């Protein structure tokens, strides 16, 4: 037997316009008041709960009073109550995301690019050099990828660099070279976009656009990417929580573009033995929380090509939908991040070693 909650001195439920109290179990906040809050302060909070469109259900206690606020909670609703002096804490029950949430859309999203599907039973390998450097380099790269059966090549024309004195990428010239490699070899191309003003032209030249870790909460960029008809790879920010990561995807989706692919690429921790800490637990949890495809980039996480191969295998075993991995025709000559780029022969070995792992988890490589 399930108790039905009732309110008021008469033992009869109070009606609140438009809401059925018994149907609001999960749609609520719990407002915890400080100990010894005075009666009139409690009433003030109850008034505020009503003013903000919620139904208040107070529980008096020995030590403190707790008020449930039933109704449609927005992400900033809890904060609006925390600002009241006698409020100690506000706990929210429901998760804040909608479009990206598995609860609201239980079927896995499959992002289609050319004849590639990301998010179904295929394990997708996106590989290529960190940056577009020269026509020769990028076309040679495309050929190496094609030879290995890779259908999507990565290559950055715009480069986010910690120092203003470092190589910043070739910009639109780079996009054009990427397009040339695409036209010549038939490979699909993926590239990063950093500036809102570059979104339209990048969407014209590339098959997939990428948001780098540093821009995961560049909300204007996310909104702009919501307006183009081009799949987006969204990299997790270096210190972004799972919730913030999904909310960033929610920005793109709410602006109109549902083709978002999440990419775990390592987070910032206290550890200094590697550049970032690859978080494969995130892959497992994201699969539970969201219907969006999830890929993993071990190249940037490690900064070291020797560690990339085992971590690609671990990503596949953890249930990722694919990987994003750096391969350079001649890593020592790379203008950027050569230390983490695989040699072409290492790509071949990686693919060979990935095959049985993918098979073991029901994915096709």
Return the residues of window 181-210 that contact a copy of itself according to CB under 8 A.
Answer: 194-197
Q: Which part of the chain contacts a copy of itself (CB under 8 A), choosing from 67-75, 114-122, 133-141, 172-180?
A: 67-75
Q: Segment near a copy of itself (CB under 8 A), from 113-121, 173-181, 184-192, 338-346? A: 338-346
Distances (CA, A) of 126 to 13, 49, 129: 58, 50, 10
123 is an interface residue for a copy of itself by CB under 8 A: no
Q: What are phi and psi of 124, to 5 degrees?
A: -100, 130
Q: Is 288 in the site for a copy of itself (CB under 8 A)?
A: yes
Identity of the residue, 117 or 318, whose beta carbon is nearer to a copy of itself in the bound complex = 318
Question: Is the Cβ of residue 23 or residue 115 nearer to a copy of itself in the bound state?
Answer: 23
In whole angstroms, how close is the CB of 169 to a copy of itself at the nearest point? 11
- At residue 322, the 3 state secondary structure works out as strand
Of 46 and 113, nearer to a copy of itself (C-beta) is 46
Whole-number Å distance between alpha carbons of 218 and 195: 10
Burial of 117 (0-12, 13-18, 19+ CB in 10 A): middle
The Cα–Cα gap between 318 and 284 comes to: 6
Contact positions with a copy of itself (CB under 8 A) in 149-178: 160-167
Binding-residue total with a copy of itself (CB under 8 A): 131
Distance of alpha carbon 171 from alpha carbon 193, whole angstroms: 10
Q: Check residue 13 and report its DSSP letter.
A: P
Output the smallest distance, CB 165 to a copy of itself, in A: 6
Residue 319 near residue 355, CB atoms below 8 Å? no
According to CB under 8 A, which one of 94, 173, 200, 256 is a site residue for a copy of itself?
Answer: 94
Is residue 284 within the footprint of a copy of itself (CB under 8 A)?
Answer: yes
16 binds a copy of itself (CB under 8 A): no
Q: Which of 281, 345, 349, 364 forms a contact with a copy of itself (CB under 8 A)?
A: 281
Cα–Cα distance, 276 to 202 (Å, whole number)? 28
Tell me which residue of 174, 129, 170 sits closest to 153, measured CA to CA. Answer: 129
Interaction of residue 264 with a copy of itself, rule CB under 8 A: no
Residues 27-46 that bind a copy of itself (CB under 8 A): 27-28, 30, 32, 35, 39, 42-43, 46
Diameter of the chain measured on Cα atoms: 83
Beta carbon of residue 178, minimum distance to a copy of itself (angstroms, whole number): 19
C-alpha span between 79 and 93 (Å, rounded): 14
Find the binder of a copy of itself among 121, 134, 204, 241 (CB under 8 A). 241
Q: Which of 138, 187, 263, 282 binds a copy of itself (CB under 8 A)?
A: 282
CB of 43 to a copy of itself, least distance (A): 7
Residue 279 has which token pair?
Answer: 């978080």
Q: What's the rounded Cα separation, in Å, for the pair 267 and 276?
A: 5
Cα(302)–Cα(326) distance, rounded to whole angstroms? 11
């Amino acid at each position: 037997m399930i108790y039905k909650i009732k309110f008021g001195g008469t033992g009869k439920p109070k009606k609140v316009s438009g809401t059925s109290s018994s149907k609001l179990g999960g749609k609520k906040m719990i407002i915890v008041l400080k100990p010894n809050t005075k009666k009139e302060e409690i009433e003030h909070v109850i008034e505020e709960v009503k003013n903000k469109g919620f139904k208040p259900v107070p529980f008096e206690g020995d030590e403190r009073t707790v008020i449930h606020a039933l109704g449609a909670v927005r992400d900033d609703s809890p904060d609006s109550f925390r600002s009241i002096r006698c409020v100690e804490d506000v706990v929210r029950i429901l998760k804040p995301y909608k479009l990206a949430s598995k609860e609201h859309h239980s079927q896995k999203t499959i992002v289609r690019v050319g004849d590639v599907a990301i998010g179904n039973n295929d394990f997708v390998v996106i590989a290529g050099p960190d940056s577009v450097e020269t026509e020769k380099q990028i076309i040679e790269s495309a050929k190496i990828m094609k030879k290995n059966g890779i259908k999507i090549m990565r290559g950055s024309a715009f480069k986010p660099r910690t120092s203003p004195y470092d190589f910043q990428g070739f910009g639109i010239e780079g996009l054009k070279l990427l397009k040339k490699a695409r036209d010549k070899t038939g490979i699909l191309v993926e590239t990063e976009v950093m500036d809102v003003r570059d979104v339209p032209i990048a969407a014209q030249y590339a098959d997939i656009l990428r948001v780098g870790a540093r821009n995961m909460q560049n909300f204007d960029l996310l909104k702009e990417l919501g307006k183009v008809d081009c799949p987006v790879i969204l990299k997790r920010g270096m210190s972004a929580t799972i919730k913030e990561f999904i909310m960033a995807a929610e920005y793109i989706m709410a602006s109109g573009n549902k083709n978002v692919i999440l990419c775990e690429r390592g987070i910032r921790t206290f550890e200094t033995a590697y550049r970032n800490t690859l978080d494969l637990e995130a892959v497992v949890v994201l699969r539970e929380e969201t219907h969006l495809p999830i890929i993993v980039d071990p190249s940037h996480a490690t900064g070291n090509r020797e560690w990339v191969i085992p971590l690609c295998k671990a990503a596949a075993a953890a249930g990722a939908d694919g990987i994003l991995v750096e391969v350079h025709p001649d890593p020592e000559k790379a203008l950027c991040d050569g230390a983490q780029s695989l040699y072409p022969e290492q790509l071949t070995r990686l693919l060979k070693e990935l095959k049985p792992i993918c098979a073991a988890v029901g994915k096709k490589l």
